[in-house]
Amino acid sequence: MNTDNREVSRTGTYAWRTGETGGRVSVNLDGTGCFEGGTGLGFFDHMLDSLFRFSEFDGNLKVEGDPGSRHHTIEDTGTALGTALNEALNDRLGINRFGWCLCPMDESLVRVSLDLSGRSGFYLFTDERVISRGETMLEFFRSISRAARWTLHLGVLHAENRHHALEASFKGLGLVLRQASALGRGSRIPSVKGIL
């Protein structure tokens, strides 16, 4: 076994085809923030571009979405990306594990806290006047959290504009992913249990 994690390529891929959507995705945790491809949903692609930019991961995504349902396209893209990220994180050896930030965008302020724990969870606090619990874009955070096996707390602390609040959420997730996935602990598993 190679215990020098810097020599292990931290990449993941996933391809899928269901009755609703299909596609393939590849990610590289040690990238430069370059995002290629898309889902055909302009606003969602803008959000994914922000996520990759600030995580400094490289991503290539080709999704044939469900023309009848944005919900299916967004949810399945989250599952695919999460599955690829889980593969790229491998045994999670040597990572920081935790990441957190307060991310502003104009009047909106979002708190993002991430634990690459190996346990799936998504917890939401939100200003329901602007981002309701039924907001379709939130399906992405739910499905990626499930597939990537991480615990994510998203808090929309203040918002007056949906676009700004969502963009701060995606940028914030990028920032905390960069922090939590960064290598800095040699060959240690960052858990007292010894496994993530």
Binding site for Mn ion (CB under 5 A): 167
**Min separation Cβ 74 and Mn ion, Å:** 17
Query: Exposed e or buried b for every residue in 90-128, given b needs 16+ CB within 10 A?
Result: eebbbbebebebebebeebbbbbbbbbbbebebebebbe
Q: Which is nearer to Mn ion, 14 or 44 (CB)?
A: 44
The residue of the chain with the least Cβ separation from Mn ion equals 167
Q: Which is nearer to Mn ion, 40 or 121 (CB)?
A: 40
Structural Rg of the chain based on CA atoms: 16
Rounded CA-CA distance 126/1 in Å is 44
**Min separation Cβ 40 and Mn ion, Å:** 18
Q: Which is nearer to Mn ion, 12 or 38 (CB)?
A: 38
- Which tokens hold the place of 86? 């889980």
**Min separation Cβ 98 and Mn ion, Å:** 28
First to last CA, the chain: 18
Q: Which is nearer to Mn ion, 115 or 167 (CB)?
A: 167
What is the secondary structure of 12-35 as a DSSP string? EEEEEE-SS-EEEEEEESSS-S-E
Q: Which is nearer to Mn ion, 86 or 108 (CB)?
A: 108
**Min separation Cβ 161 and Mn ion, Å:** 10
